[in-house]
Structure 1
Amino acid sequence: MRTLALAAAFLITTSPLAAQDRAEQTAAAALEAAPVWDGHNDVPIQLRSRFDNRINDFDFADTLDTATEDRAAMHTDIARLRTGKVGAQWWSVYVSASLPEPEAVQATIEQIDVTKRLIARYPDTLQLALTADDVEQAMAAGRVASLLGMEGGHSIGSSLAVLRQMYDLGARYMTLTHGTTLSWADSATDAPKHGGLNAFGMDVVREMNRIGMLVDLSHVSEEAMHDAIDVAGAPVIFSHSGARAINGHLRNVPDSVLARLPQNGGIVMVVALPWFLTEDLRQHSANRASEQARLEALLPGRPDEVEAQLAVWDAENRAPVSTISDMADHIDHVREVAGIDNIGIGGDYDGMPNGPVGMEDVTGYPALFVELARRGYSQEDLEKISSRNMMRVLRAAEAYAATQRNATPIEYAVGAPRDGED
């Protein structure tokens, strides 16, 4: 009888249901101790594009009613941030890289303004954070620590003076490029001009380090990633990127760069954007674009026929589905190459059509952490991924900046070419 009882107990504790229960308990405990610190959310550009930054009557408590005939509802609101166990959020003050740089500078200031006004309207649930201590205090008080990140060096108009003023306005990271190569930095998704960063671009990295602004390498070319790490005195971040070995999109981080992160101390905040996660979906998108181009070449001036035949192609070639497991595969790979201390989460919600199945909006983070726990990640591991790694990185950047208090600002003559020479 004793043998039978032990066998029954073993079966119960090793059953798939018991394993799932343990994974859920581990994930819940981790997110209770260390809520998600997400690397990238595009609510600010939604405020601009949907509401022209007029938010006095905007209800951020619940945005499920923001759907229109041609746009899905927003991915983010206070209620869903709570459900998603988000304790700190980098809000992206992105503006289009197609803007002339002076206009981009103005638009970025407008985005900083609207984001600060949104945060101020909800003092019981959101709190502006400018330092790691601010984040720690806000999370301890049960508020979502809210930090500002610029997405693209066009936001500083090729000016270190503007960079410093953006920091004073509250920006605490800058992605060096967006989708366009700049006069000083190559983008991952545009024709290169510099072989990475030119001399001025390297000075941008140095000055960001000096003042304590995080250098974000999402969107930059592989060569620019290496150049930035070569000159960086503080850890770098990838605010929303995947692993290129899992999905070959050039926005993702190659192993050559992942292997350097332990020494630099930086992190990859793994993105939830399906086309960066799921290689089959990326290939499907490329094939569809090729088919559309073929039909347009065969049927010039006949858009209705092109649309009809493309609909037939779509019916016969269903797009693959991106899943939580796909996102976890990227986290596994970053851990394998860079290590558990070099991983974070950077959803990119409200900057993409949708997340993977089960993570369509910001409520999905707990499901991801259950999947990671199911794969054997410990509670300590999960706490590092959720927010402790990001906290370490920000504190390290602040500590480096403190060592530079007596260093003079890097100067360029007004109007001088940004090629690294006065």
Structure 2
Amino acid sequence: MLFYYDRVQDGRGGRKHDGGWPLLGGLPEDSDEAAEVVLRQAPVIDGHIDLPILVRALYHNNVTAVDLEHETPGHVDIPRLRKGRVGGFFWSVYVGCPSGDGPDFVLPTWRVRDTLEQIDVARLLIDKYHDTFELATTSFEIEDIIRRGKIASLIGVEGGHQLGNSIGVLRQYHALGARYMTLTHSCHNAFADSCGIFVPLEPLHGGLSPLGHALIHEMNRLGMLVDLSHTSDSTALQALSLSRAPVIWSHSSARGVWDVPRNVPDFVLEKIGEGEGKKDAVVMINFSPGFVAAPGEANVKKVADHVERVANATGSRRHVGLGSDYDGIESTPEGLEDVSKYPALIAELHSRGWNKYDLAGLTGGNLLRIMRGAEAVARDMREERVRPVVDVYGKREDL
């Protein structure tokens, strides 16, 4: 039995759920036991795992050399995914920002080719281990795959620099299975401003460029999640206001706990929610130690602090999830060393008073709600006969 519980008011002060399965029974008092009960019924759906780039770095994209049935040099393999009660995750298809690209982003790079290779790696590994993984492109497929005992495998593109300044390329990534794109990575691009990593970048566009506005419109039309991790605060605020669909931060933590540009500040978190002037969203907490706490202090309790800060700043536990960044980080917090360790975080939050509904939302239910919302907007736009975006980057000289 699986459970993804999306609580809403039923109009009489009670609670009801809008789909999925009810979570059966109460939780044990012991937090470790409670975590196991929750995760058996509501397994983790991680918003960001970098397994494809590890395969690129260590195996030169040779998937035949990769053995996921035994312990890998990184944080992810099948035995540890099963131990950690993982029901699904986004395979991040990432390639780094180009060097020497210049302020106009017109110098040719290999980033589109490299992104296609990373999509190829993800899909080949999903097929190689088809008894374990299955490609998912909708919220319904995620639930169905998990119900059948497999790990739902989604694809996310980690940076607008991977589009080659072309919204047409976005459509092709979507056709290949990508269901979110991060607007920026650690560099500005033709669409939007980045926050940088540990030192803020000087703004280029002041947030979104005009082409970035068109990009978000097309992502809404396609049903592709707008991912605001790595974006500047101005980019995030503008995207929240512009997007018709709910949005995500696939792997970001809370600046109110640890003050680095990559984390989301409270004044942005306060724009998340239901009601006028707010947008439904989920912030999926990053485990990278440099974004969690001071050097040497990152541990499972500190990560739980970030979870709670997002919940408190947004006013609801409906807006937080998990986006570990495993295989994309060099070190991990104490107690969260790899994908087998998610139960430790669930146990920590249970010990702080999080109930079964809150925990099931954190592990995956909140993300599924956001996906359903984005899918509904895409259906509406199809019914409205909204045309594909054909805007062209103005600094291209070939068109």
Instruction: Place the TM-score, normalised by the shorter chain, in its bin.
Output: 0.7 to 0.9
In the alignment, which residue of structure 2 is the partner of 1:235?
Answer: 246
Retained in 2: the 8 A contact 1:101–1:156? no
Whether 1:322 and 2:298 are equivalent positions in the alignment is: yes
CA displacement at 1:183 relative to structure 2: 2.4
In the alignment, which residue of structure 1 is the partner of 2:98?
Answer: 98
CA displacement at 1:102 relative to structure 2: 4.3
CA displacement at 1:416 relative to structure 2: 3.2
Match of 2:189 among 168, 177, 182: 182
Q: Give the AA of the match of 2:160.
A: G
Match of 2:351 among 374, 387, 401: 374
Match of 2:234 among 199, 214, 223: 223
In the alignment, which residue of structure 2 is the partner of 1:395?
Answer: 372
Retained in 1: the 8 A contact 2:43–2:363? yes
CA displacement at 1:169 relative to structure 2: 0.9
In the alignment, which residue of structure 2 is the partner of 1:80?
Answer: 80
In the alignment, which residue of structure 2 is the partner of 1:409?
Answer: 388
| Structure 2 gap segments, 5+ residues each | 1-26, 100-106
User: What is the distance in 2 between the residues matched to 1:366 and 1:356?
Assistant: 14
Retained in 1: the 8 A contact 2:93–2:155? yes
Whether 1:124 and 2:131 are equivalent positions in the alignment is: yes
Runs of 4+ in structure 1 off by over 4 angstroms are: 99-102
CA displacement at 1:57 relative to structure 2: 3.1
Kindly indicate which of the two structures has a greater share of residues assigned to helix.
Answer: 1
User: What is the distance in 1 between the residues matched to 2:38 and 2:181?
Assistant: 29
| Structure 1 gap segments, 5+ residues each | 1-18, 65-72, 282-319
Retained in 1: the 8 A contact 2:59–2:65? no
Aligned residues: 353
CA displacement at 1:410 relative to structure 2: 1.3
In the alignment, which residue of structure 2 is the partner of 1:286?
Answer: none
CA displacement at 1:24 relative to structure 2: 2.1
More deviation in 349-358 or 25-34? 25-34
CA RMSD between the two structures = 1.6
User: What is the distance in 2 between the residues matched to 1:341 and 1:228?
Assistant: 20
For the residue of structure 1 that corresponds to 2:321, the secondary structure is: strand
In the alignment, which residue of structure 2 is the partner of 1:253?
Answer: 264
Whether 1:331 and 2:307 are equivalent positions in the alignment is: yes
User: What is the distance in 1 between the residues matched to 2:389 and 2:80?
Assistant: 43
In the alignment, which residue of structure 1 is the partner of 2:203?
Answer: 192
Match of 1:162 among 143, 160, 169: 169
For the residue of structure 2 that corresponds to 1:356, the secondary structure is: coil
CA displacement at 1:101 relative to structure 2: 5.7
| Deviation by residue 1:88-126 (Cα, 9 ceiling, x = unmatched) | 100100011126664101110110011100000111111
Q: Give the AA of the match of 2:41.
A: A
Retained in 2: the 8 A contact 1:345–1:386? yes
TM-score for both structures, normalised by structure 2: 0.86
User: What is the distance in 1 between the residues matched to 2:190 and 2:147?
Assistant: 43
TM-score for both structures, normalised by structure 1: 0.81
| Greater C-alpha radius of gyration | 1
Retained in 2: the 8 A contact 1:188–1:221? yes
